[in-house]
Amino acid sequence: MNRTLRQLLTPTILIGGCSLACLLTVITFALIGFSPASQPAQGGFAPAELTLIPAPTSTPLLLPSTTPDPLLVGTPTLPAGVIAIGAYVQISGTLGDGLRLRALPSITGDPLFLGEDAEVFLVKDGPVTADGYTWWYIVAPYDESRAGWAAANFLTVVPPP
Protein backbone atom coordinates (compact mmCIF):
# COMPACT_ATOMS: atom_id res chain seq x y z
CA MET A 1 0.00 0.00 0.00
CA ASN A 2 2.85 2.30 0.76
CA ARG A 3 4.19 1.64 -2.65
CA THR A 4 0.87 2.52 -4.36
CA LEU A 5 0.68 5.82 -2.52
CA ARG A 6 4.24 6.72 -3.58
CA GLN A 7 3.38 5.91 -7.16
CA LEU A 8 0.40 8.29 -7.03
CA LEU A 9 2.21 11.13 -5.30
CA THR A 10 4.78 11.87 -7.91
CA PRO A 11 6.36 15.34 -8.03
CA THR A 12 4.52 16.11 -11.26
CA ILE A 13 1.11 15.36 -9.73
CA LEU A 14 1.91 17.34 -6.57
CA ILE A 15 3.04 20.40 -8.52
CA GLY A 16 -0.02 20.17 -10.83
CA GLY A 17 -2.44 19.95 -7.88
CA CYS A 18 -0.86 22.92 -6.10
CA SER A 19 -0.92 24.94 -9.32
CA LEU A 20 -4.62 24.22 -9.81
CA ALA A 21 -5.39 25.26 -6.22
CA CYS A 22 -3.47 28.52 -6.70
CA LEU A 23 -5.23 29.23 -9.99
CA LEU A 24 -8.69 28.77 -8.38
CA THR A 25 -7.71 31.06 -5.50
CA VAL A 26 -6.59 33.80 -7.87
CA ILE A 27 -9.81 33.54 -9.92
CA THR A 28 -11.91 33.77 -6.74
CA PHE A 29 -10.08 36.89 -5.52
CA ALA A 30 -10.31 38.44 -8.97
CA LEU A 31 -14.08 37.95 -9.08
CA ILE A 32 -14.50 39.40 -5.62
CA GLY A 33 -12.27 42.35 -6.51
CA PHE A 34 -14.15 43.18 -9.72
CA SER A 35 -17.64 42.95 -8.21
CA PRO A 36 -19.23 46.33 -7.34
CA ALA A 37 -18.91 47.37 -3.73
CA SER A 38 -22.10 47.78 -1.72
CA GLN A 39 -23.09 51.39 -1.12
CA PRO A 40 -23.09 52.55 2.48
CA ALA A 41 -26.39 53.85 3.78
CA GLN A 42 -26.76 57.57 3.18
CA GLY A 43 -27.12 59.67 6.26
CA GLY A 44 -25.54 57.01 8.38
CA PHE A 45 -28.44 56.77 10.84
CA ALA A 46 -32.06 56.01 10.01
CA PRO A 47 -34.47 56.86 12.82
CA ALA A 48 -37.27 54.39 13.46
CA GLU A 49 -40.80 55.58 12.93
CA LEU A 50 -43.03 55.11 15.93
CA THR A 51 -46.76 54.68 15.43
CA LEU A 52 -48.91 55.18 18.49
CA ILE A 53 -52.02 53.03 18.62
CA PRO A 54 -54.63 54.44 20.99
CA ALA A 55 -55.94 52.16 23.70
CA PRO A 56 -59.41 50.72 23.11
CA THR A 57 -62.28 52.70 24.57
CA SER A 58 -65.55 51.48 25.90
CA THR A 59 -68.24 51.52 23.22
CA PRO A 60 -71.83 51.16 24.36
CA LEU A 61 -73.49 48.02 23.04
CA LEU A 62 -76.33 48.96 20.72
CA LEU A 63 -79.02 46.33 20.46
CA PRO A 64 -80.94 46.14 17.19
CA SER A 65 -84.34 47.70 17.36
CA THR A 66 -87.30 46.08 15.70
CA THR A 67 -88.92 47.94 12.87
CA PRO A 68 -92.56 47.06 12.37
CA ASP A 69 -93.36 45.47 9.02
CA PRO A 70 -95.79 47.82 7.22
CA LEU A 71 -97.60 44.83 5.77
CA LEU A 72 -98.26 43.42 9.24
CA VAL A 73 -99.25 46.65 11.00
CA GLY A 74 -102.84 46.36 12.09
CA THR A 75 -102.94 42.61 11.44
CA PRO A 76 -104.46 40.93 14.47
CA THR A 77 -102.55 38.07 16.05
CA LEU A 78 -104.55 34.87 16.21
CA PRO A 79 -105.02 33.33 19.64
CA ALA A 80 -103.21 30.01 20.05
CA GLY A 81 -105.34 26.93 19.43
CA VAL A 82 -108.36 28.88 18.11
CA ILE A 83 -109.53 28.33 14.54
CA ALA A 84 -109.91 31.62 12.69
CA ILE A 85 -109.60 32.95 9.14
CA GLY A 86 -105.93 32.98 8.21
CA ALA A 87 -105.01 30.14 10.58
CA TYR A 88 -103.46 26.88 9.44
CA VAL A 89 -105.27 23.72 10.47
CA GLN A 90 -104.48 20.04 10.24
CA ILE A 91 -106.98 17.23 9.82
CA SER A 92 -106.92 15.01 12.91
CA GLY A 93 -109.08 12.59 14.87
CA THR A 94 -110.49 10.61 11.91
CA LEU A 95 -108.67 7.41 12.96
CA GLY A 96 -107.20 7.14 9.46
CA ASP A 97 -110.57 7.37 7.68
CA GLY A 98 -109.93 10.91 6.42
CA LEU A 99 -112.32 13.88 6.36
CA ARG A 100 -114.84 14.59 3.60
CA LEU A 101 -114.57 18.20 2.51
CA ARG A 102 -117.89 19.37 1.18
CA ALA A 103 -119.26 21.92 -1.29
CA LEU A 104 -121.61 23.39 1.36
CA PRO A 105 -121.25 23.75 5.16
CA SER A 106 -123.64 20.89 5.93
CA ILE A 107 -123.60 17.10 6.18
CA THR A 108 -125.97 17.11 3.21
CA GLY A 109 -123.45 19.07 1.09
CA ASP A 110 -121.85 17.08 -1.73
CA PRO A 111 -118.42 15.65 -0.77
CA LEU A 112 -115.71 17.12 -3.01
CA PHE A 113 -112.75 15.03 -1.88
CA LEU A 114 -111.30 13.20 1.10
CA GLY A 115 -108.74 15.05 3.20
CA GLU A 116 -106.11 12.79 4.78
CA ASP A 117 -105.11 12.79 8.45
CA ALA A 118 -102.22 15.23 9.09
CA GLU A 119 -102.93 17.17 5.86
CA VAL A 120 -102.55 20.94 6.42
CA PHE A 121 -104.98 23.58 5.12
CA LEU A 122 -105.43 27.36 5.35
CA VAL A 123 -108.74 28.63 6.75
CA LYS A 124 -110.34 31.03 4.23
CA ASP A 125 -113.95 31.42 5.47
CA GLY A 126 -116.28 30.60 8.33
CA PRO A 127 -117.44 29.81 10.82
CA VAL A 128 -120.88 28.54 9.81
CA THR A 129 -122.93 26.52 12.28
CA ALA A 130 -125.13 23.80 10.75
CA ASP A 131 -126.26 20.23 11.58
CA GLY A 132 -124.60 20.41 15.03
CA TYR A 133 -121.15 21.25 13.65
CA THR A 134 -119.10 24.40 13.20
CA TRP A 135 -117.88 24.50 9.58
CA TRP A 136 -114.79 26.20 8.15
CA TYR A 137 -113.88 26.68 4.50
CA ILE A 138 -110.33 25.44 4.11
CA VAL A 139 -107.90 25.46 1.16
CA ALA A 140 -104.70 23.45 0.69
CA PRO A 141 -101.81 25.95 0.46
CA TYR A 142 -100.09 23.82 -2.17
CA ASP A 143 -103.19 23.26 -4.38
CA GLU A 144 -106.08 25.75 -4.49
CA SER A 145 -108.32 23.13 -6.11
CA ARG A 146 -108.25 21.15 -2.83
CA ALA A 147 -110.78 23.33 -1.01
CA GLY A 148 -114.06 22.76 0.78
CA TRP A 149 -116.05 23.00 4.00
CA ALA A 150 -114.85 20.92 6.96
CA ALA A 151 -116.26 20.28 10.43
CA ALA A 152 -114.18 21.92 13.18
CA ASN A 153 -114.35 18.74 15.31
CA PHE A 154 -111.69 17.21 13.03
CA LEU A 155 -109.39 20.24 12.69
CA THR A 156 -106.44 21.21 14.90
CA VAL A 157 -104.66 24.57 14.69
CA VAL A 158 -100.97 24.25 13.71
CA PRO A 159 -98.22 26.84 13.20
CA PRO A 160 -97.81 28.22 9.66
CA PRO A 161 -95.48 26.17 7.45
- Condensed to tens digits (0 to 9), the pLDDT of residues 92-119 reads 999 989 999 999 999 999 999 999 999 9
Give the chain's mean pLDDT: 83
Quick one: average pLDDT of 46-75?
A: 69
Type of residue at 28: T
User: Residue 40: inside a domain, yes or no?
Assistant: no
Overall domain count for the chain: 1
pLDDT of 9 over the 60 cut: yes
User: What is the pLDDT at residue 54?
Assistant: 77
Q: Closest Cα partner for 101 from 91, 111, 116?
A: 111
Residue 125 domain flag: yes
Which pLDDT belongs to residue 81? 76
Q: Does residue 21 sit within a domain?
A: no
- For residue 56, tell me if it sits in a domain: no
Boundaries of domain holding 153:
88-158
Helix/strand/coil (H, E, C) string of 17-83?
HHHHHHHHHHHHHHHHHHCCCCCCCCCCCCCCCCCCCCCCCCCCCCCCCCCCCCCCCCCCCCCCCCC
- CATH number of the structural domain spanning residue 111: 2.30.30.40
